Amino acid sequence: MSSTVSSHASAVSSRLPDFPWDRLEPHKKAAAAHPGGIVDLSIGTPVDPVPDVIQKALAGAADSPGYPTVWGTPGLRDAISGWCGRRLGAENVGHRGVLPVVGSKELVAWLPTQLGLGPGDRVAHPRLAYPTYEVGARLARAEPVGYADPTTLDPAGLRLLWLNSPSNPTGQVLAKDELARIVAWAREHGVLVFSDECYLELGWEADPVSVLHPDVCGGSHEGLVAVHSLSKRSNLAGYRAAFLAGDEAVLGELLEVRKHGGMMTPAPTQAAVIAALGDDEHVRVQRERYVARREAMRDALLKQGFRIEHSEAGLYLWATRDETCWETVAGLAELGILVAPGDFYGPAGERFVRVALTATDERIEAAVARLG
């Protein structure tokens, strides 16, 4: 029995890349040894309080003894549809065009499997990208394909195209006309587009646009699904709150699959999402926090000879001082500052590091002082 279990485990591990964060552990220990303590800027996990209006909604729904629905309550679907119209300019999103999910990472990891993809199918993602796009393809035994420009790909066997604007890790924002060009190409070749827009409300030097905006999609959501998360804009990473919007046929298929899998957003979280999407003030307040942290870290890095590319949106600075990313990681760890090496996101990032802005004001001030 043990040999059978071992062989199964080996088969699973051979399909997946090494978990990258394990390689960062020695540098995390080095940074933690700094007399002033570690400033961990390696992971984009929120550190600020969950807004009161959301906490109250969660607590008010705490007495939820029954199973929630996979599709969400009508009130939740109303909230998502209304937000899509107000924030994305997608006013034609109805209840059949939305679907809550249990955080966006599980969706990214399991989407190819839920769509029925497998051997012989190809899944495209940006060549500099969140690693879970590749993981999702491999879990389905499909072929992951990195791209610089998706319209240069061979469409043969290409079933799913991931867009990510604003980008993690680079913060790059795709312009409206660029998105429209990609959407037209994908429709011409029958390729389903999922657009990861989880950082859309965090534009600094650019105004990110959704793939569902009428100027991008022509008013039709055919073949298009946008992915949104409340983790960053509302500090709800611990709530696992995200949703999809777009093509009704695609979302209807996913709804049926997810019903069978019991993939239900907890009822208190659904209530919290309704409150979060109905309140813009807490988003404004959080944006101001990140603006201040971004300016402080950006100035400090530039003064230390770093060059920052893109980073016009999102919660990261994509920085280089023209050395290998691991040399930069080691040098900053000596100052007690931990950052993510760029090669976590693909070979094209081997001379960059990703510096997260998700640390308290006090920790950001400490990092700035050490860099100064």
pTM: 0.93
Q: 2-49+282-371 and 52-278 share one CATH topology?
A: no
In the chain, domain spans: 2-49+282-371, 52-278
Lowest pLDDT segment from 17-21, 260-264, 294-298, 323-327: 17-21
pLDDT at 5 over 50: no
User: Measured on CA atoms in the order 181, 185, 190, 196, is the torsion positive or negative?
Assistant: negative
Cβ pair 263, 102 in contact under 8 A: yes
Taking the C-alpha atoms of residue 343 and residue 353, their distance in angstroms, rounded to an integer, is 8
CATH fit for domain 52-278, picks 3.40.640.10, 3.30.365.10, 3.30.43.10, 3.40.50.300: 3.40.640.10
Which residues have C-beta within 8 Å of that of residue 63, sequence separation ≥ 6? Answer: none
CATH fit for domain 2-49+282-371, picks 3.20.20.70, 3.40.50.740, 3.90.1150.10, 3.40.140.10: 3.90.1150.10
Cα distances (Å, whole numbers) of residue 231 to 82, 112, 138: 19, 23, 25
Nearest residue to 19 (alpha-carbon basis) of 344, 351, 347: 344
Taking the C-alpha atoms of residue 2 and residue 153, their distance in angstroms, rounded to an integer, is 44
With bands split at pLDDT 50, 70 and 90, how would you rate the model's confidence at 105?
Answer: very high
Per-residue pLDDT tens digits for 115-155: 999 999 999 999 999 999 999 999 999 999 999 999 999 99
For 313, phi and psi rounded to 5 degrees? -155, 170
Q: Alpha-carbon Rg of the chain, whole angstroms?
A: 21
First to last CA, the chain: 58
Taking the C-alpha atoms of residue 8 and residue 19, their distance in angstroms, rounded to an integer, is 18
Taking the C-alpha atoms of residue 311 and residue 220, their distance in angstroms, rounded to an integer, is 30
With bands split at pLDDT 50, 70 and 90, how would you rate the model's confidence at 2?
Answer: low
The label of the residue with tokens 């990092």 reads 367
Q: Which residues pair with 171 in a beta bridge?
A: none
Nearest residue to 249 (alpha-carbon basis) of 88, 118, 96, 74: 96
Per-residue pLDDT tens digits for 155-209: 999 999 999 999 999 999 999 999 999 999 999 999 999 999 999 999 999 999 9
Cβ pair 311, 170 in contact under 8 A: yes
